[in-house]
């Protein structure tokens, strides 16, 4: 092909960008990124900084679910439901030494901590080990529909037993 298709005096079209256009593109991109970053920070700042924790009150089923003279571990709540002839109570399964999860040992009629060897009676009383305090009792009541309701935020005396 020849150069006859070019009009005389008309600047040649090219796909190259000028140095000025290049820096304008860079500056525009940087400003866009900064704007997005500022928007994200603003939205995060404006949203409430709330720690969502699981509810401390939970329903533990019917008293009939727990046979007399039983200790039942509710794994999802880390709570024991104990039932004797005297009544029922809810006991924390978290060791009072350093917070390990204890285990019910029916063969020895004890709640034992696997970490440092503390042992508790089913009442929560310390029998052995480094645990400095008994396992706390949580509030256990019967709801209006007859279901057991445990409140892990309300620690009660060992003598508060639910008569069923
Ligand atoms: S955490 Fe249970 S005995 Fe240490």
Categorize the per-residue pLDDT at 13 as very low, low, confident or very high, splitting at 50, 70 and 90.
low
Contact 148, 81 (CB under 8 A): yes
Region 11-22: what's the mean pLDDT? 75
Q: What is the reported pLDDT for 96?
A: 97
Average pLDDT of the residues of the chain: 91
Is any ligand 1 atom within 6 A of the Cβ of residue 134? no
Measured between alpha carbons, how far is 8 from 96 in angstroms, rounded to an integer? 94
Give the ligand 1 atom nearest the CA of 131: 3
Q: Find the DSSP H helices in 8-125.
A: 19-46
Q: Report the separation in Å between the CA atom of 103 and the middle of ligand 1, taken as the mean of its atom positions.
A: 11
Give the ligand 1 atom nearest the CA of 95: 2
90 bridge partner residues: 81, 138
Buried b (16+ CB within 10 A) or exposed e, 106-130: eeeebbbbebeebbbebbbebeebe
Q: Using one digit for the tens of pLDDT, what is the confidence trace for 76-133?
A: 999 999 999 999 999 999 999 999 999 999 999 999 999 999 999 999 999 999 999 9
Query: pTM of this prediction?
Result: 0.71
């Amino acid at each position: 092909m020849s150069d006859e298709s070019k009009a005389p005096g008309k600047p040649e079209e090219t796909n190259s960008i000028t140095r000025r256009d290049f820096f304008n593109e860079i500056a525009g991109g940087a400003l866009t990124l900064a704007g997005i970053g500022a928007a994200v920070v603003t939205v995060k700042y404006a949203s409430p900084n709330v720690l969502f924790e699981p509810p401390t009150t939970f329903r533990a089923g019917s008293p009939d679910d727990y046979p007399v003279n039983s200790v039942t571990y509710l794994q999802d709540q880390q709570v024991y439901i104990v039932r004797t002839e005297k009544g029922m109570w809810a006991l924390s399964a978290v060791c009072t030494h350093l917070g390990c999860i204890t285990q019910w040992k029916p063969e020895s009629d004890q709640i034992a901590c696997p970490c440092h060897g503390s042992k508790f009676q089913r009442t929560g009383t310390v029998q052995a080990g480094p645990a400095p305090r008994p396992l706390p009792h949580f509030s256990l009541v019967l709801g209006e529909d007859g279901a057991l309701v445990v409140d892990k935020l309300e620690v009660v005396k060992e003598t508060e037993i639910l008569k069923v």
